[in-house]
């Protein structure tokens, strides 16, 4: 029977053996991660077929599961084929699904593995897209960053709506949720989409999930000198406490929001390491957008002031690496026809024209 050492090691759940076989210093003597066994299964199937005995202690079970998950991640990092089809016409993901009927505990374990695989799959799709996008130089690139739930996807949608669409969709898209009512479906990974502003100007928008720094590689910002980054943060917020919802004014969350903005600016800067430019125009251009303007409508001056302060402070901190535009935006991301949204569109268009030149 033809079985590769890696398959056997994974089948037995031996993390140490898998690591040895895939050790980078082995170079071309390293195990081939995609070798198949007689049933056309690669090592990803093998680790899914690794059975942990029920007759050992809980601690031991947990330890073995942890190791198994590390093996899965190791194989994924080595670019193992996720779409491998065995003789029964099954794939690793299908095999996992067949395990969901098991005990609660076991299905949680397989769900975890499924998550790892799906995440890797997304990451790979995204890399492919990146390569395709690389040959579309005529479209301005827009990267929308910011923590989860700040309003990136909402903003991206609103930018595209003209007044007719705004009217048609006003009952749901233009309506903004109250504090505590803003639950939503988070963007998974990165959503790359080609959008058109109402006047027809096109952009390819890279809408990140709040957690997307995990997906980002340095190569994606190779042409950051021509890209535009929008960093979104909240100008007002709320906390859930035992007494209910506690509303937070701009001045109360200023420190926290500034930290978040700085986090993304550092992130943008770090992915551009080594691309420092003396020429200010060649630095990554960043637009700061504060969302949830509607929640701060009782303190419009405070909101403007806090946004301006955050802007001025980070502009100073990052002045050698990033070009943070002078414009300050405090926006309700649902309101596609407000004057700040219109001003944002105008800035984006100018930026694109400048890049094309
Ligand atoms: N009131 C109000 N709600 C907003 C605003 N912007 C976004 N929201 C709400 O906030 C929630 C999250 O918005 P999204 O645009 O999906 O957030 P996101 O930044 O894309 O989140 P991730 O994809 O998880 O990173 C949704 O319920 C939106 O309706 C705003 O300006 N005002
Ligand atoms: Mg989103």
Q: Is the pLDDT assigned to residue 281 strictly greater than 70?
A: yes
pLDDT at 97 over 90: yes
pLDDT of residue 328: 97
Write out pLDDT tens, residues 165-179.
999 888 889 999 999
154 CA: nearest ligand 1 atom: 15
Task: Name beta bridge partners: 190.
Answer: 208
Alpha carbons 269 and 288: distance in angstroms, whole number: 15
Question: Which residues have any ligand 1 atom within 6 Å of their CB?
Answer: 146, 148-154, 176-177, 182, 184, 186-187, 209-210, 291-292, 294-295, 332-334
Tell me the mean pLDDT in the region 262-283.
Answer: 76
Query: What is the average per-residue pLDDT within 141-154?
Result: 91
Instruction: Report the distance separating Cα 347 and Cα 345, nearest Å.
Output: 5
Query: In angstroms, what is the span from residue 18 Cα to ligand 1's centroid?
Result: 42
Q: Which helix (H) or strand (E) covers residue 240, if one does?
A: strand 237-241
What is the Å distance from ligand 2's center to 207 Cα?
A: 6
Q: What separation in Å is there between the alpha carbon of 189 and the centre of ligand 2?
A: 9
Antiparallel, parallel or unpaired: β 323-330 and 285-291: parallel
What ranges do the domains of the chain cover? Answer: 5-127, 137-356
Instruction: Give 230's strand partners.
Output: 144, 287
Domain at 137-356: CATH architecture: 3-Layer(aba) Sandwich (3.40)
Is the predicted pLDDT of residue 222 greater than 50, yes or no? no
Question: 5-127: which CATH architecture?
Answer: Alpha Horseshoe (1.25)
**pLDDT value at 318 more than 50:** yes
20-62 confidence digits (pLDDT tens): 999 978 888 889 999 999 999 999 999 999 988 889 999 999 9
| CA-wise closest residue to 210 among 252, 298, 149 | 149
């Amino acid at each position: 029977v033809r079985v590769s050492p890696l398959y056997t090691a994974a089948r037995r759940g031996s993390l140490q053996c898998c690591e040895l076989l895939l050790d980078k210093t082995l170079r071309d003597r390293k195990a081939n991660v995609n070798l198949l066994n007689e049933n056309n299964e690669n090592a990803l199937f093998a680790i899914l077929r690794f059975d942990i005995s029920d007759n050992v202690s809980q601690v031991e079970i947990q330890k073995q599961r942890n190791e198994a998950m590390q093996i899965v991640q190791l194989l994924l990092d080595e670019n193992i084929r996720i779409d491998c089809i065995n003789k029964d016409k099954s794939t690793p993901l299908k095999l996992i699904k067949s395990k969901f009927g098991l005990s609660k505990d076991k299905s949680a374990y397989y769900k975890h593995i499924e998550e790892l695989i799906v995440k890797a799959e997304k990451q790979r799709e995204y890399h492919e897209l990146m390569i395709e996008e690389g040959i579309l130089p005529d479209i301005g690139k827009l990267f929308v960053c910011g923590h989860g739930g700040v309003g990136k996807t909402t903003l991206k949608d609103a930018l595209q709506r003209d007044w007719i669409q705004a009217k048609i969709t006003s009952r749901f898209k233009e309506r903004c949720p109250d504090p505590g009512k803003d639950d939503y479906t988070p963007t998974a990974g990165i959503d790359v989409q080609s959008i058109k502003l109402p006047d027809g100007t096109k952009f390819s928008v890279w809408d990140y999930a709040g957690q997307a720094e995990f997906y980002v590689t340095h190569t994606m910002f190779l042409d950051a000198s021509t890209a535009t980054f929008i960093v979104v943060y909240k100008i007002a917020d709320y906390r859930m406490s035992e007494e209910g919802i506690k509303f937070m004014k701009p001045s109360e969350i200023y420190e926290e929001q500034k930290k978040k903005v700085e986090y993304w600016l550092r992130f943008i800067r770090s992915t551009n390491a080594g691309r420092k430019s003396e020429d200010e125009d060649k630095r990554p251009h960043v637009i700061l957008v504060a969302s949830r303007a509607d929640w701060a409508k009782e303190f419009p001056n405070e909101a403007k002031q806090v946004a301006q302060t955050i802007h001025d402070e980070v502009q100073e901190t990052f002045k050698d690496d990033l070009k943070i535009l002078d414009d300050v935006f405090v926006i309700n991301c649902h309101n596609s026809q407000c004057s700040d949204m219109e001003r944002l569109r105008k800035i984006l268009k100018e930026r694109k024209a400048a890049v094309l030149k």
